[in-house]
Structure 1
Amino acid sequence: MIPTTPPSHPQRFVALAEIARTLGHAHRLVLLDHIAQGERAVERLAELSGLSLANASQHLQHLRRAGLVQTRRDGKHVLYRMGAGPIASLLASLRDYAEHQHAELEEFVTDSIHKRERLEGVSIEELLSRIETDSVVLLDVRPEEEFALGHLPGAINIPAEELERRLIELPPNAEIVAYCRGPYCVLSTHAVEALRANGLQARRLSAGFPEWKAEGLRVETTPS
């Protein structure tokens, strides 16, 4: 007797479709990208995303209902943070697929990817072992606001646009590992190029702060 095809589980696919539908809006992906850097108030998220407060709030509610973000109230402000689960990995997979399908649409991204391929990256696992032996300097090249919300333990913050004039703040003989918002953030790539051009030893973290945090690793914040 020929085995029959196992029955499908339509409800599971309905749930997947709902998540895909929720993520199927550019504004929501932009909001998630900002939230991945750290907990923020809805007013600040609207400002960073270039949206009206009402529009940002509407998209955030969709994300909250899907469990992609969580909220808490702090006085008069509603603060948003990433939801539970491998959301950072989900977003990274979306970026991978978009690159595969539409790399030619974003020439500057493609160019940056080629540059990253020429620059040796450091995995999270390797970085952890290097941190234990104090043999590396961590350089966070994100904006100061994002650094304050959360960063790798012991990292130095020099925003990318300030790097050239603040090179003197970095130890000349240490190996520097630069990181930013994630594997597709070009800030760390440009930082490593600038550091090497000035005679410093530098590599980039293959992942970024959201992936570090998603691994459940320790982060530090800057007191306000």
Structure 2
Amino acid sequence: MGDRAAKTTLLDAFARVGKALGSGKRLELLDLLAQGERTVEALARAADLGLTTTSAHLQTLRQANLVATRREGTKIHYRLAGADVAALLALLRVVARDRLPDVEAARAAYLGPDTEQVTRAELLRRVEAADVVVIDVRPREEYDAGHIPGALSIPVEDLADRLADIPVDQDVVAYCRGAFCVMAHDAVRLLSSRGRRARRLADGMLEWRLADLPVATAPGPQG
């Protein structure tokens, strides 16, 4: 039989990851970092947190080796420590959705009425056939860090003013960060209200990357 103390030490080591994930705000920071590298200041703005609070959450994630850093001058840039962390984030959300009854109610309250969707496989077919316009409705810095090849960058807050950038005679597919991202839903609702044929990608950039599908990037610094 194995040594009980050694087994406890091993299980406690596993639990360190669980403890690091035990905060909605830390999960939000991981979700943001799944879109691309960011500075502490950029993360604080995106998550609507103070700098001190953001730094404390990031230190907890770093102590569990879920995030990594690099320094550029006086700024520290954070990124996910690896694709396995992104996969863990995605799986955690799926398990919570499937196992906790209140998650569905919270999801519906946040995302609002459901909107029509397309799968990744269908989107790939339609992109190859060139019969659809794909729009990335995330903030521009996330688009620059990685996007579906050929997608137009139209942040959701700019969409109403940029309808002229979208051909009126083609179907539109909007996507954002992931399966629980509200921006694509908002974009589809807006486009539909303006008479456009619009659907959303069933998930988003997190799942697209995890499926090892092509990702394009824009030149220039991030964060």
Normalised to the residue count of structure 2, the TM-score between the two structures is: 0.82
1:215 to 211, 214, 222: 211
Quickly say closer, same or farther: Cα 1:69–1:215, change in 2 above 3 A: farther
The alignment status of 1:163 with 2:155, answered yes or no, reads no
| 1:189 has 2:185 as partner | yes
Q: Where does residue 70 of structure 2 map in the other structure?
A: 72
Of residues 19-28 and 93-102 in structure 1, the stretch that sits farther from structure 2 once superposed is 93-102
1:173 is paired with a residue of what secondary structure? Answer: coil
* CA contact 1:112–1:189 (8 Å) conserved in 2: no
**Contact 1:86–1:214 (Cα < 8 Å) also in 2:** no
The alignment covers a number of residue pairs equal to: 213
Which runs of 4 or more aligned residues in structure 1 lie more than 4 Å from their structure 2 counterparts after TM superposition? 9-12, 111-114
21-30 vs 85-94, greater mean Cα deviation: 85-94
**Which runs of no fewer than 5 residues in structure 1 stay unpaired?**
1-6
Answering whether residue 142 of structure 2 is matched by residue 146 of structure 1, we say: yes
Distance 2:111 2:210 in 1: 23
Q: 1:114 to 1:93 in 2, by over 3 A?
A: farther
Which residue is 1:199 aligned to? Answer: 195
Given that residues 179 and 203 in structure 2 are in contact (C-alpha distance below 8 angstroms), is that contact kept between their aligned partners in structure 1? yes
- Provide the rounded CA distance (Å) in 2 between the counterparts of 1:114 and 1:161: 17
2:54 matched residue in structure 1: 56
Q: Quick one: structure 1 residues 11 and 174, their matched pair in 2 at CA, closer, same or farther if it must change by over 3 Å?
A: farther
Inter-CA distance 66–125: structure 2 relative to 1 (3 Å threshold): farther
Note the C-alpha offset of 1:48.
Answer: 2.7
RMSD of equivalent CA atoms? 2.6
Q: Percent of counterpart pairs with the same letter?
A: 44
Name the counterpart of 2:125: 129
The 1-side partners of 2:18 and 2:54 are apart by: 19
Please report the TM-score for the alignment, with normalisation by the length of structure 1: 0.81
Give how far 1:34 is off: 1.6
